[in-house]
Structure 1
Amino acid sequence: MKRCVLCGDTFLSADWNCPGCGGSPPRSKGFVAFAPEASESNDGFSPSYFSRLVDLEAGHFWFEGRNQVILWGLRRYAREARSLMEVGCGTGVVLQAVHRDMPNMHLCGSEIFSNGLPFAAQRLPEADLMQMDARKMPFDAEFDAIGLFDVLEHIEDDRVVLRETWRSLKPGGCVLITVPQHPSLWSAVDEHSYHKRRYVAKELIAKLVEADFEILHITSFMTLLLPIFVLSRLHYRGLGRKLSPGEALEIHPLLNGLFSKILACERLLIQLGLKLPAGGSLFAVARRPPAAEK
């Protein structure tokens, strides 16, 4: 169900006109906007970075590798899902991959920054896209699956986001999460990316359990590349040089191809059920209990 951001009533409707108060959300850059005041004044990301990001994502080993882990998780734990909301969809790189793999899935995407939504719409015109604050989701028991892909680390109140995610999922629905891992890997790239934290597995598990989720699966990924990540950070620390996120993502095509092959081998281990103990990122799948009421 949808939840009116003005009066709090819940309703079933094809549009966002509330039958209770008659109100409807405004629009920003052509998209329904539930938190327009936060679109340009938020410290979780730089909206000017979207145009750069959309050029870097295509074919990049990191984004392709993450997409493949996400798709495996959806097929393994949410294969019956008919609807997916990606919170913090950015330029739509994940939604596009999901659509190619699961063309019958109804896809929605939200982004706190309206600037990212035109890029997502260009990649996937079929998706329902909206401007939204992840801490105030206008839904109750609406989605079979929700994705939080490298989103939680940008938000100070990550516990609030997990509670809102729980409420927005249908009973039995799954949340799929990726986050950067290992605080010891903190670098200037995290600072430039407006990260609030890097996670450890115990922290993410504890926060999910606190929000009444059942943990279905958790594993590290970007594991086989972890030594390279560590050496890279040590190298630039030694030089006293700080890389911007764009510079950190730039890579020679030959290395990009090599890293993609390494991650393909790593995925085989994950698909075989091996839970990798360390890696640059963490992947978790959790479920809202089927009969839970809160």
Structure 2
Amino acid sequence: MLGEGADDHWYYQSKARMITHHFHQRPSSILDVGAGLGWFSRWLLENDRGDGATCVDPGYETESEEKLPNGRTVRYVRETGESDADLVLLMDVLEHVDDDVALLSTYWDLAPPGATFIITVPAFEFLWSAHDDYLEHRRRYTVRSLERTIRAAGATPERLHYYFGAIFPLAAAVRLLKRGRTSETSDMRPAGPVANGLLKGICGAETAVMKLNRLGGLSVVAVLRKPA
């Protein structure tokens, strides 16, 4: 796994910057569901894309707070029964739970009017590999199957598209060639400086057209806005 190497890794940097292309305005309070280490919330706060964040994950042993160098605060809690967040993140979370509709419905009902939701999930069941087994995924999605989940949760998607489409053909070929193999690690590994910079550049350029991409990519992205 990447550990501290995630901070400059092309995948995390590209996905974080992708998030910011879906803001109508700068968020103030962030609720990060299934946040793990809280990397995306920390990145947003460190780049002045929010004033504070609450990361929710039942895997935390204890609840805690982290003060970032710029004075922003991240709270880490096992659960929450209320939220005033104007940005709710579910970054690669829904694929981990048996009932994705119930999880999304819970936080949709919890969010205040006007809140923006940004959801990412892995794309296409035919790309299933040992990577998914290792991460204990339940499913992969298409834009249509994610839309069905969203509507079943009582919400309406404002935007649905694929991301990492530029590298999709090569990544899909590698996944298919490795089909049937077992692995005790994730596919997410450090990249050399040249490859890392090249991939960041390719994915960065893709953000200009990603909202039109309903053909293919490694991730499905959804944006929802709760009626004010």
Whether the TM-score (by the shorter chain) exceeds 0.5 is yes
Residue of structure 1 equivalent to 2:218: 280
Moved over 4 A (4+): 115-118, 122-125
Q: What SS class does the counterpart of residue 73 from structure 2 fall into?
A: coil
**Residues 51-95 of structure 1: per-residue CA shift (max 9 Å, x gap):** x4423412111111111111222x23xx16422100111112101
Between the two proteins, the alignment pairs up a number of residues equal to 226
Q: Contact 1:87–1:111 at 8 Å: present in 2 too?
A: yes
Question: What stretches of structure 1 of length at least 5 have no aligned partner?
Answer: 1-51
Q: What SS class does the counterpart of residue 114 from structure 2 fall into?
A: strand
Cα distance in 2 for partners of 1:95, 1:117 equals 16
| TM-score computed with the length of structure 1 as normaliser | 0.70
Question: How do 1:73-222 residues align onto structure 2 when only pairs under 5 Å count?
Answer: 73=22, 75-76=23-24, 79=25, 81-102=27-48, 104-114=50-60, 121=66, 126-132=73-79, 137-139=80-82, 142-222=84-164
1:256 and 2:196 aligned: yes
Q: What SS class does the counterpart of residue 171 from structure 2 fall into?
A: helix
Question: What stretches of structure 2 of length at least 5 have no aligned partner?
Answer: none
Tell me the amino acid that sits aligned with residue 251 of structure 1.
A
Larger helix fraction of residues: 1
Cα 1:84/1:248, change in 2 over 3 Å: closer
1:108, distance to aligned residue in structure 2 (A): 1.1
1:55 and 2:55 aligned: no
Q: Contact 1:183–1:197 at 8 Å: present in 2 too?
A: yes
| TM-score computed with the length of structure 2 as normaliser | 0.88
Q: Contact 2:67–2:74 at 8 Å: present in 1 too?
A: no
1:104, distance to aligned residue in structure 2 (A): 4.6
Q: Contact 1:71–1:101 at 8 Å: present in 2 too?
A: no
Please tell me the root mean square deviation across aligned C-alpha atoms, in Å.
2.4
Cα distance in 1 for partners of 2:6, 2:196 equals 12
1:265 and 2:214 aligned: no
Structure showing greater relative contact order (alpha-carbon pairs closer than 8 Å, 6 or more residues apart): 2
**Residues 205-233 of structure 1: per-residue CA shift (max 9 Å, x gap):** 11212222121111100101111211211
**Residues 34-58 of structure 1: per-residue CA shift (max 9 Å, x gap):** xxxxxxxxxxxxxxxxxx4423412
Cα 1:68/1:80, change in 2 over 3 Å: closer
